[in-house]
Amino acid sequence: MKTVAEVLELLAAEQVAYVDIRFTDPRGTLHHVTLDVDLVDEDFFEEGLMFDGSSIAGWKSIDQSDMKLMPDPSSAYLDPFYAEKTLCLHCSVAEPDTGEPYSRDPRGTAVKAEAWLKASGIGDVAWFGPEAEFFLFDDVRFSVTPQKVAYQVDAVSAAWNTDTSYDMGNQGHRAPFKGGYVPVNPVDDGQDIRSEMLSTLKRIGIKVDKHHHEVATCQHELGTIFGGLVEQADNLQKLKYVIHNVAHAYGKTATFMPKPIKGDNGSGMHVNMSIWKNGKPLFSGDKYADLSQEALWFIGGILRHAKALNALTNPSTNSYKRLVPGFEAPVLRAYSARNRSGAVRIPWTESPKAKRVEARFPDPSANPYLAFSALLMAGLDGIRNKIDPGPASDKDLYDLPPEELAGIPTVCGSLREALDELENDMDFLLAGDVFTRDQLEAYIRLKRGEVEAFEQTPHPIEYAMYFSC
C-alpha cells in the first residue's frame, strides 16, 4: 500500500512524465484524464481534480455537473502501455462543495461496504477472489442500423475453421466447441499471449497464480490472488485493461461479453469470498463441508437475494444468454461442496484459512465495485438475519428428474426480470447507507434503457423464424 509521500517519491525516482487519473462509471467502464506530472503534489491529493459529471451516463444533470475526482495513492501503478512514462491512480468521486463521497460513485460504494462490514461487528475484512473469463478473436464486425443488424466474429484458432483454406495451409489443431478445457499447444495457441498478460499484471503489482484455456473455443482465463474488496475491484479493472491492451498489441481483440458465441459455453466470473475477524477465518467451522454457521447464513443471504443481485452481478442483456441450463452456467439457487451446477459452491480445501464460498452466477460484464459490494451485503444480511440456506444439493442438478428439478428456485432469466427484482428487493443493500435508494433507482433507469434498446431491435433469428410467415 502506498502513501502520498511514497507516490511522490516514485514520481521523482522513475522520472514520470504524466499521471493518469482513472475512475469507473455505473456501467463499469473505466475513464481517464492525463495530467502533467508538475501538477501533482500533496495539495493535489487533498483537493482532487474537477471534472464534468454530466457527461457520464447515470450521474449528474447539466445544471449540477461539477464533480471532483479524489485519487487513492494505494492504487498507484506505472502504466505498461504508454510511450511516455505514466503513473496511474484510481479515484473515488466527491461532491465539490462538501467534499462528501458522491452517492452514485461505484468505487465509493465499495469503500462504504468495507466500512459497513467493520461497523457491523461481524468481521474485520472481506477477501474477494474473482475469476473473470474472456474470449480472444482475430476479427470482429458488427452493425446496428435501421436496415442491418448483424455481427460476425472470427479467429484462426476457432473451432469452426477446421476446414478453412489458408494460404499457409490449415494445420488443423483447434479446441472444439465445449471441449477446450486446458489442452496443451498446438491446440492451445494462447500460451504466449496469456503469459504476457499475466507477467504484465505482475509488473503493475497484482499478485498472480496461473493461466489456461477455458472450455469454449477461443476462451481463456487468468488467475489472480485474493485481496480486499476495493483492492480486488480496482484489480479487476486493471486486469481488463491489461487483457484488452495486450490482445490489441498482438493484433487480436478481447471481449468480456458473457455470451459472444452461439452454442458454446459463456464467460462467467466466479467470485470467491471469505470474512475474517480478529485475525481468524470466520467461515471455518464444523458444519456442512467444514463451514461455520456464519458461512451457511452468508450463503443463505446470497441465495435469498440472488434475483436482485442479478441486476448487479449479471447486468447485461447478453448475461442471460449464458444463464441457461446445460452450459455449466449455474441457474439454480442451490449450494454444494464441489458440485459446480449450483449458484454457490464451497471449494475443497485442507486449510481452514482457505475456507470460502464461491458465487458462480456472476459474469465479467459486471461493474466490480457494485457486484462485490452487493454480494457482501447479501451475505451480511444472511448473517444478521440468520437466513437458513436449506440442505445442500450434492447431486448433479442438471440430471435431476423434472419433478425434483421443478422444486429448485432459479436465478433470473432476463435483465428486465432482474431489474424488477432489484426494485422490489433493495433494502438489504441500503443497510449502513452502503448503497442509496437514489443510486439504485438511477442505475435501474440506466439499465432499463439497455433493455428497451434490446427488446425494440429486430434480431436476425427473427428473420429466420418469421420472415415467410
Angle between helices 306-313 and 415-424 (to 10 degrees): 120
Q: Is 270 a catalytic residue?
A: yes
CA distance 434 to 428: 10
Answer yes or no: is 220 a known binding residue: no
Catalytic residue among 174, 305, 360, 416: 360
Q: Is 423 a catalytic residue?
A: no
Answer yes or no: is 118 a known binding residue: no
Answer yes or no: is 221 a known binding residue: yes
Answer yes or no: is 114 a known binding residue: no
CA distance 322 to 285: 34
Buried/exposed 60-85: b ≥16 CB within 10 Å, e otherwise? beeeeeebbbbbbbbbbbbbbeeeee
Answer yes or no: is 340 a known binding residue: yes
In sequence order, the β-bridge partners of residue 92 are 70
Residue 75 is placed in which grid cell? Answer: 492504487
For residues 123 and 117, is the Cβ–Cβ distance under 8 A? yes
Answer yes or no: is 384 a known binding residue: no
Catalytic residue among 114, 221, 264, 421: 221
CA distances from 418 to 11, 29, 265, 286, 328 (A): 45, 21, 22, 35, 20
Catalytic residue among 133, 234, 294, 363: 133
Q: Is 360 a catalytic residue?
A: yes
CA distance 426 to 434: 11
Answer yes or no: is 350 a known binding residue: no
Catalytic residue among 131, 189, 294, 381: 131
Spatial CA neighbour of 364 closest among 211, 236, 253: 236
Catalytic residue among 31, 32, 340, 448: 340
Catalytic residue among 25, 264, 358, 421: 358
Catalytic residue among 22, 107, 194, 270: 270
For residues 344 and 393, is the Cβ–Cβ distance under 8 A? no
Answer yes or no: is 360 a known binding residue: yes
CA distance 368 to 233: 5
Radius of gyration of the chain (CA): 23
Expressed in angstroms, the distance from the first to the final Cα of the chain is: 64
Answer yes or no: is 107 a known binding residue: no
Q: Is 345 a catalytic residue?
A: no
Q: Is 459 a catalytic residue?
A: no
Answer yes or no: is 214 a known binding residue: yes
Answer yes or no: is 174 a known binding residue: no
Answer yes or no: is 448 a known binding residue: no
Instruction: Please list the alpha-helical segments (H only) found in 55-181.
Output: 106-120
List of residues 6+ apart from 39 with CB closer than 8 A:
19
Q: Is 214 a catalytic residue?
A: yes
Q: Is 450 a catalytic residue?
A: no
Catalytic residue among 214, 231, 264, 363: 214
Residue 128 is placed in which grid cell? Answer: 474477494
Catalytic residue among 14, 42, 52, 452: 52
- Give the residue numbers of the binding site for L-glutamate: 265-266, 322, 328, 340, 360
What are the catalytic residues?
52, 131, 133, 214, 221, 270, 340, 358, 360
- Give the residue numbers of the binding site for Mg(2+): 131, 133, 214, 221, 270, 358
- Give the residue numbers of the binding site: 131, 133, 209, 214, 221, 265-266, 270, 322, 328, 340, 353, 358, 360
- Give the residue numbers of the binding site for ATP: 209, 340, 353
